[in-house]
Amino acid sequence: MHEVTTRHFIIATAGHVDHGKSALVKAMTGTDPDRLPEEKRRKITVDLGFAELNLAGSNGDKIHAGVIDVPGHEDFVRNMIAGVGSTDIALFVVAADDGWMPQTEEHLQILNYLGVQRAVVALTKSDLGRIDVVIEQIRGKLQGTSFAQSPIVPTSVRSGTGIQNLERTLATELGMAEPQRDIGKPRLFVDRVFTLHGIGTIVTGTLTGGPLHRGQQILVYPTNLETRIRSIQSHGWALEIVQPGMRAAFNLPDIAVNQIKRGDVVTVHDLGTPSSTLVVLIEKSSRLDRESPAARPLKSGSLCYLHHGTSRVAANISHLERGRLGFGEKTVAQLKLRSPIFAFVGDRFVVRDSAEQNTIAGGVVLDPEGHKKSLTSSLGLDDVDSLVRLTISRHGFAQRQNFLSKSQFSATEISEALLRLQERGEIILRQHVAADCELWRKLSIQATALIDEAHKQKPASAGVDLSEIRSAMRIQQAHIVEALVADLCAGNFVRKGSVIARASHRPKLPTHLQLVEAGICEKLSKEPFDPPSRKVIESDSHARQVVRFLIENGDLIEIATDVVLLRESFECMKSRVAEFIFKNGPSTVSELRVALGSSRRVMVPLLERLDREGTTRREGDRRCLR
Ligand SMILES: Nc1nc2c(ncn2[C@@H]2O[C@H](COP(=O)(O)OP(=O)(O)OP(=O)(O)O)[C@@H](O)[C@H]2O)c(=O)[nH]1
Ligand SMILES: [Mg+2]
């Protein structure tokens, strides 16, 4: 038996002013979306209106749609774009008496730029015009767009004709649509903010990317305010949890109404931060009338407005290929924004001119951090493998944690793609690093050469410090060097502290110091348990150099600033101490000093060191074994 489920979608209206969008929404839902006094007075829609529509899918599934009604007037295109940012299906309205009009065209281009794939065309005011003529006109205009095959339904709110048919058609179309994906990356693009007396600040918007629940800790970008969702409603119903593709109203009592505004994003931690530079693929529609100001080429340095989600920010376009973008063309470009936005790879946007008269371009975000390196590539954004491959090859490496967090793929999809690419030998994964195979191989060779060269140039030195490798190879991130070194150490290299060397490397003093070395060892071995002080041994700078070398290599053990022992002497004293205590029980410093034929000067620091190492333990003035 088929289990009945409810699927959530967003329907947004679009179309020229006065073409009957709001009247249609009211006829279908019973809700008048025009709520502002100004809208009532002027009899036009000024800002977004909202309603709820329940439909029955053909298989019995419930379809629940949030309806966003947008203004058609050319002065309010800015609000229209904010309304259609997360649309599953457009309710595209053309009035039978007017036919295709300027904002019909502009709205179509906006929907195309935003990648809206589905539409139902409502041929409104069918009581007033020639249906067949207008249908033909609409079909002609939709040719070559994603709406070319969209159903066209004649309607009239006057006579009630076609309203049920329109609802059935919407249900059929949504029955074929995939609900928005849950990728565990919730973003609510805020479209309304107000206060309710005694309740506090309410923000509303459309949720995408993942669910949010009551009580959840959230972040507001770009302001970076952190707060908790006290309660959630969707179309007036109180909810515990709200799913992607739903309208939501959050009560955020700890945030003042003037601290949050349309365009802000409500999200969660660990998804990255907003940025004010983007690398994008930008396109100018080929539909633009070549005579219209909107068709003028976009130039490097042009000022414009970028519309993303519900936000609108001033932006400066740069790095355009050939310096300009003509209509019907697309190119990779960099956008510098007046204020940061929280965009993901693959997010769509619309561009309007600086006077906000015309919609002039649109596109998709390639790199939300805006790295110049990304200017060379136009990604295969729909496929997680190619996105991962390109991102890694562009930078050479990537940190695995939070890799591509600002993308439209889930963390699991991304880590599975990393493993697939590793299996295919395209990338390597080491510790916290993902790296391009070829680059990693080059780096290993380079690091090996550096170490070998150092062994040759400085045979007395234990090896190369990691910081030297990092600066010689100009690698900014320490964790990459760490991963590289770990990789080398799995082979023929060893790491001691921050120094790496060939496993076979034995540090050797230059010939002129080898005699000095012999002299020092002789002095130290004469009375091995009570050798001369370091001051005596380090008679000159050469001797000092040799002592340092012997300590570094572990041939000498420095038990106090002034006391060094040959390694054999140290090991021998250690076992003799252990043996003595084992035989005689807890012993004092002087008992041990006498037993070993040493001095207080040596014995005190030696025992302290053995305490630290865990061989002995001090109890009062006696030492026992651990
Ligand atoms: N004859 C007739 N008039 C209609 C029909 N639908 C809407 N109207 C009228 O058209 C006018 C505009 O309707 P709205 O629904 O406000 O148009 P709109 O597209 O929402 O307008 P904006 O939101 O301002 O772009 C109103 O006076 C409606 O009564 C219809 O089916 N037949
Ligand atoms: Mg309206």
Mean per-residue pLDDT, 118-143: 95
Pocket test for ligand 1, best of 125, 131, 155, 166 (most atoms within 8 A of CB): 125
Closest residue by Cα to atom 14, ligand 1, is 20
> 3-class DSSP state for residue 618?
strand
Closest of 127, 86, 152, 106 to residue 14, by C-alpha: 106
Measure 15 CA to ligand 2 centroid, in angstroms: 9
Closest residue by Cα to atom 4, ligand 1, is 125
Measure 95 CA to ligand 1 centroid, in angstroms: 9
In sequence order, the β-bridge partners of residue 622 are 588, 619
pLDDT surpasses 80 at 376? no
Measure 129 CA to ligand 1 centroid, in angstroms: 14
Return phi, psi of residue 116, to 5°: -65, 125
Q: Give the ligand whose atoms come closest to the C-alpha of residue 18.
A: 1
- pLDDT digits 0-9 by tens, 559-615: 999 999 999 999 999 999 999 999 999 999 999 999 999 999 999 999 999 999 899
Q: Are strands 212-213 and 62-69 parallel, antiparallel or unpaired?
A: unpaired
- The answer for residues whose C-beta is within 8 angstroms of residue 498's C-beta and 6 or more apart is 465, 466, 467
- pLDDT digits 0-9 by tens, 187-211: 999 999 999 999 999 999 999 999 9
Closest residue by Cα to atom 12, ligand 1, is 18
Shortest-distance atom of ligand 1 to CA 155: 31
Q: Give the ligand whose atoms come closest to the C-alpha of residue 15.
A: 1
What pLDDT is recorded for position 1? Answer: 54
**C-beta atoms surrounding 123 within 10 Å:** 25
**In this structure, are residues 494 and 460 in contact, taking their beta carbons and an 8 Å threshold?**
no
Measure 148 CA to ligand 2 centroid, in angstroms: 25
pLDDT surpasses 90 at 474? no
Measure 234 CA to ligand 2 centroid, in angstroms: 22
Measure 382 CA to ligand 1 centroid, in angstroms: 39
In sequence order, the β-bridge partners of residue 62 are 6, 56
pLDDT band, very low/low/confident/very high, at 473 (cuts 50, 70, 90): confident
Pocket test for ligand 1, best of 13, 16, 17, 21 (most atoms within 8 A of CB): 21
What pLDDT is recorded for position 234? Answer: 93
Mean per-residue pLDDT, 124-133: 92
Please give the structure tokens belonging to residue 98.
């007017």
Measure 44 CA to ligand 1 centroid, in angstroms: 9
Closest residue by Cα to atom 6, ligand 1, is 20
Measure 554 CA to ligand 2 centroid, in angstroms: 84
Ligand 1 pocket at CB < 6 A: 17-23, 44-45, 71-73, 124-125, 127-128, 156-158
Q: Give the ligand whose atoms come closest to the C-alpha of residue 26.
A: 1
pLDDT band, very low/low/confident/very high, at 377 (cuts 50, 70, 90): low
Closest residue by Cα to atom 7, ligand 1, is 20
Q: Is there a cis peptide before residue 222, judged by omega within 30 degrees of 0?
A: yes
**pTM metric for this prediction:** 0.81
pLDDT surpasses 90 at 378? no
pLDDT band, very low/low/confident/very high, at 275 (cuts 50, 70, 90): very high
Measure 410 CA to ligand 2 centroid, in angstroms: 37
**53's torsion region: left (phi>0), alpha (psi -120 to 50) or beta?**
beta
Q: Give the ligand whose atoms come closest to the C-alpha of residue 14.
A: 1
What pLDDT is recorded for position 3? Answer: 67
Pocket test for ligand 1, best of 13, 16, 18 (most atoms within 8 A of CB): 18
